[in-house]
Structure 1
Amino acid sequence: MKLAYFVRPHIGGTYTVFKQLREGLAAFGIEVCWLAMGESETLRQPEWFPEFALGNAVHIDGLATERDQAKALAKAIEAGGFDGVFINVLSDRIQTNIARYLPESIMRIMMVHNITAGTYAAASSVKDHVHAAIGVSERIRSDLVQAMGFQAERTFAIPHAADTRSSRTLARTPRTKEPLRVIFLGRVEDASKGVFWLPDILDKLAPSIHLTVAGDGPDLPALRSKLARHARRVTILGAVHPKDVHGLLIQQDVMIMPSRFEGFGLTLTEAMAVGCIPVVSRIRGVTDTIVDNSVNGYLFSIGNTAEAAQIISQIAANPDTSRSLSTAARDKAENVFTIDAMARRYFEVIRQLQERRPSIAAPLDIEEWSMPKGLRSGLRTFIPTPIKNWLRVMRERI
């Protein structure tokens, strides 16, 4: 069996999940290949050349209409001999919408990676044309079923994994009384990741505590400016290639994640896999299913920089507790968030669909291609970012 996974090689969670699925499902005789539309700057960089062996980018004429792009994608799925597709909601509008136009023979599995209203609206706009929906956290599955009308028997929660096999070869140096090393790893973007709270957290920490910011994103220049007053104890690395992530995390003591919202938190499991203690926003049904508070990490109220700083200070002052948390974090990653466990759950979904394919809406005529409401820009696009950020925090706190 051969499945296409809609993504292009890049530094980010959806491509990491592709690599995990490709590796894990191979044990069940299922081949997973990435399939993207058009070229990108990433695909021209030598370090990404090996990824061409794992998938294909569909050539798109720069002047092609959306319908023509969709037809080229559908043709590539047929020519590639794919039996089905993994659709990452909102990673690309055309690749999400193609679910409504593919032949009945193509298995369609929707993957929902975030808890935002826009993501849910997009998922709902194509839900009648997919055979199964997978939320990457219990929160997402619950929201899709209870609030968005998804069928419970066709909607699953399957968390992401950490590459625990690679992390086992890395030895952590036991911490004694050296200055605590804290890292933020991920997309540098304030609306979801809350990165502009990092300077406030540092304000409340001892001057000896060091922060490393690893990642790229639209708010990196602004964050760099906001952290300027802490320049002597901040290192800004920019983008980090996936192959270097574990080596970087093993050098850190604490992972700080002050997110406003997350669908899962892949960097949390990566940090835990090498014993880096997570200190993260409490997001119901998401981070609280990964981190057991005070056991293998800590949870703090979204936006409460004083609480986050107090937790980090406690870790810094108690090396014995730090070692205990580090060990517990690594144990949970190695026993719960494994690639084998994730792949086995995906295989069960695929096996069910092979044995009994549920009825879905008939495919639409691609010649009459149109974008449904949930995939078009809505009124939320025009709400000022500060107001949206406040609403997100209030929703989670309430």
Structure 2
Amino acid sequence: MTVGQRRVAFCTPPHYGGIYSVFRRIREAVAGHGWDVIAVHPKSESSRWYGYDERLAGDGVVSVSVGGGGLQEEAKNLTRWFVENDVAIVIPMSLPPALAAVPHLPESIRVVTRCINVTPHAYRLATWGLPWIDRVVFTSPRQAEDLKARYRVDASLLSHVPNAVDVSRLAIPRPTQRQGQGLRLVFLDRLEHTQKRVLMLPGLLERLDRDNVAFDIVIIGDGPDRNRLADDLQPWVARGVARFVGSVPNDEVGAYLSQADVLVKMSRNEGFPSSVIEAMAAGVVPVVSHLRGVTDWIVQHEKTGLLCPLDNVSDFAAACRRLDRDRRLLRNMSEAASRDVGERFDIAGFGRNWSRVFEEVMRQPRRTPPLAWQRFRTPLPYRGTLAHRILWRHVPRSWKDRARAMAENLSVDR
């Protein structure tokens, strides 16, 4: 932290995922506005994330020892660390010790939450301890609608800061496509089926083969369903038209996108998929699920990309086939997508918007005095009956994650 900067604790471990990528963008974007955003990762069993990789921990990442005597002790120790390290604003995200600390933070510290999806669990994370939250940041119009209507968040507490990309880093010169070259597809996401629908990819490739569409696909990412997807895609891997590259650092994504024509994204729910605007910035045309108030706000159907009905492999295949056969349409959409991201989701505006949020909450007094630690309660998103907690403790984590995701998908109003 340089002289004159104020510190923001964005609570996330280094991991391959959208939340950590957002942290890196915020840190870079607001540094010139007088803010030092650091990623704080409490060392505790309750804060282990899928995809955690300490090798990603670069500048601005701090690992904090908070003990292991239960959630209340961890929250207390984390609060003490915030005070001792002059943290002005805490963004708790979904780390249990940080969320648990929210009602107990001293009046000198402000709380800003960021909504990450359109599921009930995401909304509960963004609104836990609402009387002690100074601002709720949402990324897509659907989130604002739901937060006001279903979670009683006053409009004065809401700030819209959509995700952004540094277009200059992704606008890598695209190689000239050879005559008769097949459609170049890319999948860029976590390899998980319940939300991301990755196991629909084999069905998509089968239909493209059936329609005599020449293609190849590069799959970027990792996740719990990687092995199953690899087994299902083995025929195309053997043919040399499907390739897994695993998780890649953010600064290498652009090189892969520069070799692609179409991004395929079949998710059932998203808050604001950064991979879509990353692809668009690189001139890759998105073919994505139509999610009301989310993807239909990011992608202008028929102009900057194509929207397809949820879980409809045939429509995704038809969209890809159409772009393969109409290369002028593909080229026009590519140019429009890149231009649109530069105008609507640029990193400079992103930095100004986040800085404005930070400045506004620091000018205002805390809405509610902090609670004494004697009144500590486990955050609602992590609470359950005693029997539920005892039984749940013995369920494998992969099963827990899948059960939670299935419940979330069933409860989302589309």
Q: How many residues align?
A: 386
Q: Which residue of 1 aligns with 2:380?
A: 373
Letter in 2 for 1:10: H
Letter in 2 for 1:150: V
1:331 aligned onto 2:339: yes
Letter in 2 for 1:210: D
* TM-score for the superposition, normalised by structure 2: 0.87
1:102 aligned onto 2:105: yes
Among 170, 182, 186, the residue aligned to 1:183: 186
Q: Within 5 Å, which residues of 2 pair with 1:227-246?
A: 227-231=233-237, 232=239, 233-246=241-254
Letter in 2 for 1:220: R
User: For each residue in 1:299-352, what CA deviation from the matched residue of structure 2 results, as whole angstroms up to 9, or x when unmatched?
Assistant: 001111101100001111122111111111111111111111112112222222
Q: Which residue of 2 aligns with 1:292?
A: 300
User: For each residue in 1:214-266, what CA deviation from the matched residue of structure 2 results, as whole angstroms up to 9, or x when unmatched?
Assistant: 10111111111222233322111221121211111111111000000001000
Among 18, 24, 49, the residue aligned to 2:23: 18
Q: Which residue of 2 aligns with 1:171?
A: 173
* TM-score for the superposition, normalised by structure 1: 0.90
Q: Which residue of 1 aligns with 2:395?
A: none
Going from structure 1 to structure 2, the CA distance change for 1:55 and 1:385 (only over 3 Å counts) comes to closer
User: 384-393 vs 150-159, which deviates more?
Assistant: 384-393
1:279 aligned onto 2:287: yes
Q: Which residue of 1 aligns with 2:313?
A: 305
SS of 1:188's equivalent? coil
User: 348-357 vs 295-304, which deviates more?
Assistant: 348-357
CA RMSD, 1 decimal: 2.4
Going from structure 1 to structure 2, the CA distance change for 1:115 and 1:387 (only over 3 Å counts) comes to closer
CA distance in 2, matches of 1:370, 1:389: 24
Q: CA shift at 1:384, angstroms?
A: 5.8
Q: CA shift at 1:172, angstroms?
A: 0.9
Among 330, 341, 345, the residue aligned to 1:322: 330
User: For each residue in 1:71-116, what CA deviation from the matched residue of structure 2 results, as whole angstroms up to 9, or x when unmatched?
Assistant: 221121112111111221x2x1222222111111101101111111
Matched-pair identity in %: 26
CA distance in 2, matches of 1:383, 1:225: 20
Letter in 1 for 2:291: I
Q: Which residue of 2 aligns with 1:87?
A: 92
Q: Which residue of 2 aligns with 1:198?
A: 201
Going from structure 1 to structure 2, the CA distance change for 1:385 and 1:105 (only over 3 Å counts) comes to closer
SS of 2:272's equivalent? coil
In 1, are the aligned partners of 2:196 and 2:266 still within 8 Å (CA)? yes
CA distance in 2, matches of 1:377, 1:255: 39
Q: CA shift at 1:377, angstroms?
A: 4.9
CA distance in 1, matches of 2:100, 2:79: 11
In 2, are the aligned partners of 1:67 and 1:367 still within 8 Å (CA)? no
User: 192-201 vs 380-389, which deviates more?
Assistant: 380-389
Q: Within 5 Å, which residues of 2 pair with 1:138-149?
A: 138-149=141-152
User: For each residue in 1:166-218, what CA deviation from the matched residue of structure 2 results, as whole angstroms up to 9, or x when unmatched?
Assistant: 123x1012435311111111111111111111111111103621122110111
SS of 1:10's equivalent? coil
Going from structure 1 to structure 2, the CA distance change for 1:386 and 1:128 (only over 3 Å counts) comes to closer
Unaligned runs of 5+ in 2: 1-5, 393-399
Going from structure 1 to structure 2, the CA distance change for 1:99 and 1:384 (only over 3 Å counts) comes to closer
Among 247, 261, 275, the residue aligned to 1:253: 261
